[in-house]
Amino acid sequence: MAQDSVDFSSHYQFWMQKLSVWEHASTLETQQDTCLHLPRFQEFLRQMYEVLKELNSSTIIERFPTIGQLLAKTCWNPFILAFDESQKILIWCLCCLINKEPQNSEESKLNSWTRGLLSQILSAFRFDTKEVDLFIQSLGYTPEDYCPGLLKNMVLSLVSELRENHLNGFNTQRRMVPEKIRFLSRICIPLVTLPDIEPLVEALLTYHGHETQEVLWPEFFDAVNEAFLLKKISLPTSAVVCLWLRHLPSLEKATLHLFEKLISSERNFLRRIEYFLKDSLLPEAACHPAIFRIVDEMFRYVLLETDGAPEVLAAIQVFTQCFVEALEKKNKQLKFTLKTYFPYASPSLVMVLLQHPKEIPQELWLQTLKHISEMLREIVEDQTHRSYGGPFECWFLFIHFGGWADIAAEQLVMSETESSEALLWLLAFSYSPRDGSLQRAQTMVGGRTSFCLTEFTGDRTLPLCFPGKHQGNEA
């Protein structure tokens, strides 16, 4: 460290003079001299960063009063910025000047000035001088193509370094330090909607180092999540999953955003609910148990707050169908046990409910329903099975797979007396899960003599409707 500081100080004035010459001269000889010295100047920039990163902003200004002039001259030299490696190191140096907690107006002005230079580097460059136009043409670019190409090359370079950093693990000689990654995420905040920046955003989201704490700025997660929800950015599912796993507020906002869309829709047919759900990517992301559990808990809260509104019941059912479809596509063999998704449920009951009625021959529906009814009844009415969460948890599980309740209502019409007992119990339970066994038995007696089947126009058949009750109020 001491030797780096000495070398940096001894070279500082030399490069300050060089930058002044390059700034005021536009001859071919000056351009050639710039290109000739670029490798050495890049090495100087690396030394500069090694020195600056060990100092705070105030100390830097005290020790190097003209460093702002040096960095500004560098930022406005197109021959230096033409190399993405130079841009990258220059960004790190500028970030060292930012004071996280400015104490006075001077420090605030320095922060503002530094961010302006950072924006200059990362935004589309506007070059007007004849010298730069000549330089661009000599590279085979038009002025319109040069700036996007420059940005794209810089992004690809950073993405490559991030991925290499991830693969190298603890090989500290080739790893990007966490401070660099953190600063990079901060710089990207106002740029996340730029198409050329998307690869870098994805690389940052999917980067997993060995740090004990999150290295990316929370505001970066907020900005990316907001852009994703408003369709201003396109990200692969893997990156979205990383975003929601690493930043819980983003997952909560995404789920609330889905609820708002479902509520604001004039008519929520099941097909429309399915479209909203799949478009949100939540069912697919829920293949990770942590995301499933959080989204499912939010559904539970909304269900209770709305007194079991039919729209919420339908949304839970469709969400589960989409989730199961995504799970089957991703995992021919489950990566996680069903217990991780439904911790309060009987695994054997979940296995049966997971089977969609369409996947089972119609002649076996009645047998399957009787099996579901027997398992639920044993758990709900037998005190020895309290480890599975009690009646409400069983009911909450059952409504995830509401298609079975619809089939039970249909089968009740056609079933024999000996089978109707199990179907009546299943429908009575789904209708009013908080009833005790005696009250449920009375409901079943009433259901044998007086019941109605109601069809929901076009899409689904509602479960058996018992007189004098309202499904939502009992939930």
Regarding whether 260 and 376 lie in a shared domain, the answer is: no
Smallest CA-to-CA distance from 391 within 344, 352, 423 is with 344
Residues 188-199: tens digit of each pLDDT? 887 888 888 888
Smallest CA-to-CA distance from 321 within 356, 365, 349, 291 is with 356
Rounded CA-CA distance 33/40 in Å is 12
Average pLDDT of the residues in 142-162: 67
Rounded CA-CA distance 117/74 in Å is 10
* pLDDT at 474 > cutoff 50: no
Quick check: is 421 in a domain? yes
Regarding whether 408 and 330 lie in a shared domain, the answer is: no
Tell me which of 122, 144, 177 is where a domain ends: 122
Residues 385-400: tens digit of each pLDDT? 555 667 788 888 888 9
Quick check: is 390 in a domain? yes
Helix axes 105-122, 84-97, angle to 10 degrees: 170
DSSP calls for 6-47: HHHHHHHHHHHHHHHHHHH--SHHHHHHHHHHHHHHHHHHHH
Helix axes 390-400, 365-381, angle to 10 degrees: 160
Rounded CA-CA distance 403/356 in Å is 8
Tell me which of 337, 361, 392 is where a domain ends: 337
Regarding whether 322 and 355 lie in a shared domain, the answer is: no
Quick check: is 159 in a domain? no
Residues 13-69: tens digit of each pLDDT? 889 888 888 876 567 777 778 878 888 888 899 888 888 888 888 888 888 888 989
Mean pLDDT of the chain: 77
Quick check: is 391 in a domain? yes
Regarding whether 62 and 100 lie in a shared domain, the answer is: yes
pLDDT at 248: 95
Quick check: is 447 in a domain? yes
Rounded CA-CA distance 210/421 in Å is 58
Rounded CA-CA distance 345/358 in Å is 23
Q: Which residues of 63-73 are buried (b: 16+ CB within 10 A; e: fewer)?
A: ebeebbebbbb
Highest mean pLDDT among 115-129, 207-221, 282-296: 282-296
Quick check: is 259 in a domain? yes
* Helix and strand counts by DSSP (H, E) for the chain: 26, 2
Q: How far is CA 66 from CA 122, 226, 254, 307, in A?
A: 23, 40, 47, 67
Q: Which two tokens stand for residue 23?
A: 């700034």
Phi-psi region of 432 (alpha: psi -120 to 50; beta: other; left: phi over 0): beta
Average pLDDT of the residues in 434-445: 62
Residues 404-417: tens digit of each pLDDT? 888 887 877 776 65
Please list, in sequence order, all residues whose beta carbon lies within 8 angstroms of the beta carbon of residue 35, skipping any fewer than 6 positions away.
79
pLDDT confidence bin for 458, thresholds 50/70/90:
very low
Quick check: is 434 in a domain? yes
Quick check: is 205 in a domain? no
Q: How far is CA 200 from CA 31, 206, 220, 244, 281, in A?
A: 32, 10, 12, 17, 21
Highest mean pLDDT among 293-297, 322-326, 455-459, 471-475: 293-297
pLDDT confidence bin for 266, thresholds 50/70/90:
low
- The answer to which of 298-312, 409-423, 445-459 has the lowest mean pLDDT is 445-459
Regarding whether 111 and 10 lie in a shared domain, the answer is: yes
pLDDT at 395: 87
Rounded CA-CA distance 206/167 in Å is 12
Regarding whether 468 and 353 lie in a shared domain, the answer is: yes
Rounded CA-CA distance 179/190 in Å is 19
* pLDDT at 452 > cutoff 80: no
Smallest CA-to-CA distance from 163 within 173, 154, 174 is with 174
Highest mean pLDDT among 7-21, 83-97, 112-126, 240-254: 240-254
Q: Which two tokens stand for residue 442?
A: 């009375």
Regarding whether 396 and 295 lie in a shared domain, the answer is: no
Regarding whether 453 and 411 lie in a shared domain, the answer is: yes
DSSP calls for 297-340: HHHHHHHHHTTS-HHHHHHHHHHHHHHHHHHHHH-SS-SS-HHH
Q: What is the pTM of this model?
A: 0.64
Split into its structural domains, the chain has a count of: 3
For residue 252, the enclosing domain spans: 247-337
Residues 57-112: tens digit of each pLDDT? 888 888 888 898 999 888 888 778 777 678 888 888 888 888 877 888 888 888 88
Highest mean pLDDT among 320-329, 337-346, 462-471: 320-329
In the chain, what percentage of residues exceed pLDDT 90? 19
Regarding whether 442 and 332 lie in a shared domain, the answer is: no
In the chain, what percentage of residues exceed pLDDT 70? 75
Regarding whether 300 and 361 lie in a shared domain, the answer is: no
Average pLDDT of the residues in 419-425: 77
Question: Which residue type does 112 have?
Answer: S
Highest mean pLDDT among 34-38, 208-212, 264-268, 294-298: 294-298
Regarding whether 103 and 72 lie in a shared domain, the answer is: yes
* pLDDT at 307 > cutoff 90: no
Tell me which of 337, 366, 401 is where a domain ends: 337
Smallest CA-to-CA distance from 374 within 363, 362, 382 is with 382
* pLDDT at 274 > cutoff 50: yes
Regarding whether 43 and 117 lie in a shared domain, the answer is: yes
Under 8 Å between Cβ of 230 and 258: no
